[in-house]
Amino acid sequence: MSQFFQVHPTNPQVRLIRQAADIILQGGVVAYPTDSAYALGCRLGNKEGLERIRRLRQLDDKHNFTLVCRDLSELAVYAKVDNSMFRLLKANTPGAYTFILNATTEVPRLMLHPKRRTVGLRIPDHQITLDLLEALGEPLMSVTLMLPSDSLPLTDPERIRSLLGKQLDLIIDGGACTVEPTTVLSLLNGEVELMREGLGDPEPFGVSRSELSEG
């Protein structure tokens, strides 16, 4: 059975955050809360952990994982960001956005788009996640926690425990999350393109909420 930590959503217990980070650093796969839905995560470069997540969610090798970062300086290690895009990101993060960017050589090959050297990155606005990333000292490889038979992510940590308690190393109970995914924005070639509309408002990036349907 997985461990189950009940962590305060706005004032996370330091001891539990450190223990959670140790589990991840030792190769564990965890369920954790974000500012959108619950997510599954493992250590950057943990091939076995990534494969466990693929099996659990029944994902093929073309599904893109996201690197969840603690701040912009960390994001810039893993993505190529010019000055104008950096200013745009600085004004609108943290938040419920996933950004598609050109990857640097720091990103493990197993995370890259099979045809393009691009990667999804995000900086969540959730204290548990940010504290966990700070304790790790590196990003998390992550995907939304949604089971293959479901159309919406899991939001209740007790239900996550009942369904996945034998398949995960840790479940972090930070209270209920939303069912809305992040808004996905491509920032390639100096242009902003709305790829998926979700919880994050795309308008600060110069994209209207209607643009996806119009396109």
Out of 85-89, 144-148, 167-171, the most confident range is 167-171
Tokens encoding 166: 């034998």
Residues 112 and 200: beta-carbon distance below 8 Å: no
- pLDDT of 100 reads 94
Rounded distance between C-alpha atoms, residue 192 and residue 116, angstroms: 17
pLDDT at 65 over 90: no
Lowest mean pLDDT among 56-65, 73-82, 153-162: 56-65
DSSP state at residue 126: -
Alpha-helical regions (H) of the chain? 14-25, 47-57, 72-78, 83-92, 127-136, 157-164, 211-214
- Tens of pLDDT, residue by residue over 167-194, are 999 999 999 899 999 999 999 988 899 9
Give the three-state DSSP class for 88: helix
- Tens of pLDDT, residue by residue over 152-172, are 999 899 999 999 999 999 999
- pLDDT of 212 reads 57
- pLDDT of 93 reads 96
Domain ranges across the chain? 3-214
Confidence of residue 215 (pLDDT cuts 50, 70, 90): very low
* pTM greater than 0.85 (yes/no): yes
What is 3-214's CATH number? 3.90.870.10
- pLDDT of 192 reads 93
Give the three-state DSSP class for 64: coil
Q: CA 19 → CA 7, 135, 179, distances in Å?
A: 12, 9, 27
pLDDT, averaged across the chain: 92
Gyration radius (Cα) of the chain, Å: 16
